[in-house]
A and B are shown apart, each in its own frame.
Chain A
Amino acid sequence: MRPVRDLYREMQAAHTAPSSLGPLSRYALAITLTSIALWLSLVLQAPFDNPFWFLFALAVIASTWYGGRGPGWAAVSISSVAALYFFIPPYHAWSLSRRDIPFFVTFVGCQAIANWLISWRRETEESLKRARDELEVRVGERTVELKNANEALLNQIEEQRRTEEALQVARAELARVARITTIGELTASIAHEVNQPLAAVVANADACVAWLSHQNPNLAEARAAAERTTQGATRASEVIVRIRSLINKATPEKARIQINEIIGETVALAEGQASRNGVSLVMELASDLPPVLGDGIQLQQVILNLLMNGIEAMTSVTDRPRRLVIQSRTAAPGEVGVSVQDSGIGVSPESMPRLFEPFFTTRSQGMGMGLPISRSIVEAHGGKLWAESTPGQGSTFQFTLPSADGMAA
């Protein structure tokens, strides 16, 4: 911003004309012009044999025009003195006859008027020019300011866009971590709760065998150990029943929701992950779907899980576009269907039946809990979740949910 303003200032300085010459040079110009006029007059006077002083007028006009008011006056003074000495009889003397006074006064007066008129005209012109230049500088400055403001605004917009992008990545990460943490805690808890009765089962079964292996088997001890084995096994199965009911019961808030909205929100969460993996997300959502009754967050978890699985399944695909199509439709009267179709590696026929088993995973880092949990959520909503796959071409995971009105009917 600064250099541009300075440039304008310089331009302005260059345009204020008389000051383009220094004061000394301006006076020197006046003196030179008058001296030339004097010399020419003296030279030309001889052949014409007449006082020849018109050239002084030219010297005064030129001095005033190029030098300004002061040098103009200098030219006027010098030419007056020169005229008096050289061209008014008696020549080469300072005296002035009475007869020549009006003539001389007219001469000086004309020169003075010429000087005054020209300098006035010149100054007006200059101030006008200055005003115009000032205006140009101002306009220039304003333009620069506007341009900078515009740039700042664009930067701000870009910054905001980046922040939003980062926020989205963070949100998706958070959702993923929350999912994993829940699953992790659940797993640790299951492991501990089940392991304790299993330890009892193993210890008592071993004891039972030991008592029976004696030469004289101790049947009373063996029976007691066997009974404790049964108790331990019963307790283990009770733990599992409790965990299952915990998962099923974890739908506290059911509301009427539009599945398309949930899909939209979830796709927004998965977009970062998709673009990082070069996957294009395609939404094909049917309009005027009936609302479903459910827990938005849980359904979002299911969809997010299916999207993430789909993206994961396509990371090694290079020979075809990585497309993840998420579709919503009316599956049957009073039923809403959602499908997630990828063009990934697919699921082998051997893996297919085990896909929804807990802890079954084909990935090195997978927990194997995503699909079983998703299925139990969908089933808790009164729906179904299943998969179809063609190895080498991709898989389609889909679930159906009864519509809210269908359930009420």
Chain B
Amino acid sequence: MKEPEPIVFIIDDDRMVREGLQSLVKSVGLRVEAFASAPEFLAAKRPDAPACLVLDVRMPGLSGLELQQKLGVENIQIPIIFITGHGDIPMSVRAMKEGAHEFLTKPIRGQDLLDAVQKAIASDRRQRKERAELNEIRARFDSLTPREKEVLELVVRGLLNKQIADELGMSELTVKTHRAHVMEKTKAESLAHLVRMAERLRTTPRK
């Protein structure tokens, strides 16, 4: 599976700053899309690719911090690099708490921004991979029948086939059949692998 080309989004209401940053990012060969406001960004179609967002804190209308919150609420996961003309500590603390990737003060040194962008894209790439794996596992587990799910539940809890049979009121042979199906459908290589996958699903909330 070939990975799609990464993309950098820039939102700044100041045209000259926006175009400068856009040109700078473009010069290192990255795909860039720039917006003058947060609503424009929300309305645009975003390709499914590793990305990061370079976001001005102070903008008329929807501010950068408000956009960050909105993205959080809508579960749109994208690393954010904040840029600001007057970075005060409480503001940056708030942004970082909300999960901002980086906080840069204007005027920004070109290399600082490019480094931050590369790091943010790498981070997004890792997270996308993680999410894709998780979705894959979830799809496999979702394909199990209700009976198989019951058997899975008890297997993961560490019960023996005989105990599972007693618990569910079926023969040990039936349990064995269900169990084989579970292993096959979830593509589990071993019991340990199965348990690990089940655990990972349980600790990550469904999207």
CB–CB B110/A207 < 8 A? yes
Q: State whether A195 touches B20 (Cβ < 8 A).
A: no
- Mask, A175-214, CB within 8 Å of B = 1, is 0000000000000000110011111111110111111001
| A235 interface residue (CB < 8 Å to B) | yes
Inter-subunit contact B108/A211 (CB<8 Å): no
Beyond the given pairs A198-B106, A231-B16, 19 more chain A to chain B contacts, judged by CB atoms under 8 angstroms and listed by A's residue number, are A192-B86, A195-B85, A195-B106, A196-B106, A197-B16, A199-B20, A199-B107, A200-B16, A203-B17, A203-B108, A204-B16, A206-B109, A207-B21, A210-B27, A210-B28, A211-B27, A228-B20, A229-B20, A232-B20
Q: Are A200 and B17 in contact (CB under 8 A)?
A: yes
Residue numbers in A under 8 Å from B5 (CB-CB): none
| Assembly CA distance A228 to B16 (angstroms) | 6
How would residues 213 to 237 of chain A score, 1 for a CB under 8 Å from any chain B CB and 0 otherwise? 0100010010011001101100100
Q: Are B17 and A196 in contact (CB under 8 A)?
A: yes
Chain A contacts of B113 at CB under 8 A? 203
Whether A210 contacts B86 by the Cβ 8 Å rule is no
Is the pair B19, A228 in contact by a Cβ cutoff of 8 Å?
yes
A-side interface size class: 20 to 34
18 A-B pairs within 8 Å (CB atoms) are namely A192-B86, A196-B17, A196-B85, A198-B106, A199-B107, A200-B16, A201-B107, A202-B107, A203-B20, A203-B113, A204-B19, A207-B21, A208-B23, A210-B110, A218-B27, A221-B23, A224-B19, A235-B16
| Interface residues of A, dominant DSSP | helix
Q: Are A191 and B24 in contact (CB under 8 A)?
A: no
- Report the Cα distance A246→B113, complex, angstroms: 36
Would A211 and B23 count as touching, CB distance under 8 A? yes
* Chain A proximity mask over B10-30: 1 for CB below 8 Å, otherwise 0: 000010110111011011100
A199 & B23 in contact (Cβ 8 Å cutoff)? no
Point out the residues of chain A lying under 8 angstroms from B106, CB to CB.
195-196, 198-199, 202
A225 to B18, alpha carbons, bound, how many Å? Answer: 11
Contacting residues, chain A, for B108 (C-beta < 8 A):
199, 202-203
Question: Contact at A221–B27, with CB atoms within 8 Å?
Answer: yes
Bound-complex Cα distance A173 to B28 (A): 56
User: A195 near B28 (CB under 8 angstroms)?
Assistant: no
A residues less than 8 Å from B86 (CB atoms): 191-192, 195
Bound Cα distance A275, B203 (Å): 71
Give the CA-CA distance A235 to B20 in the complex, in Å.
15
Q: Are A206 and B110 in contact (CB under 8 A)?
A: yes
Q: Which residue of chain B lies nearest to A204 when distances are taken between CB atoms in the complex?
A: B20
With A191-B86, A202-B108, A214-B27 as contacts: A196 and B20 at CB distance below 8 Å: no
Across the A-B interface, give the 7 residue pairs with the lowest CB-CB distance, nearest first.
A206-B110, A203-B20, A200-B16, A199-B106, A210-B27, A202-B107, A204-B20
CB-based nearest A residue for B26: A221
Interface residues of B in 70-113 (CB under 8 A from A): 83, 85-86, 106-111, 113
The interface residues of chain A lying within 8 Å CB-to-CB of B23 are 203-204, 207-208, 211, 221, 224-225, 228
Report the nearest B residue to A206, measured CB to CB. B110
A92 to B110, CA, bound (A): 148
Structural contact, B26 and A203, CB atoms closer than 8 A:
no
A210: chain B residues at CB < 8 Å are: 24, 27-28, 110
Q: What is the bound-complex CA distance between A218 and B26, given in angstroms?
A: 11
Question: Provided the pairs A192-B85, A204-B23, A210-B24 are in contact, do residues A198 and B107 lie with their beta carbons within 8 angstroms?
Answer: yes
> Which of A200, A218, A231 is the most central at the interface, judged by chain B CB atoms within 10 Å of its CB?
A200
Q: Which residues of B contact A232 (CB under 8 A)?
A: 16, 20
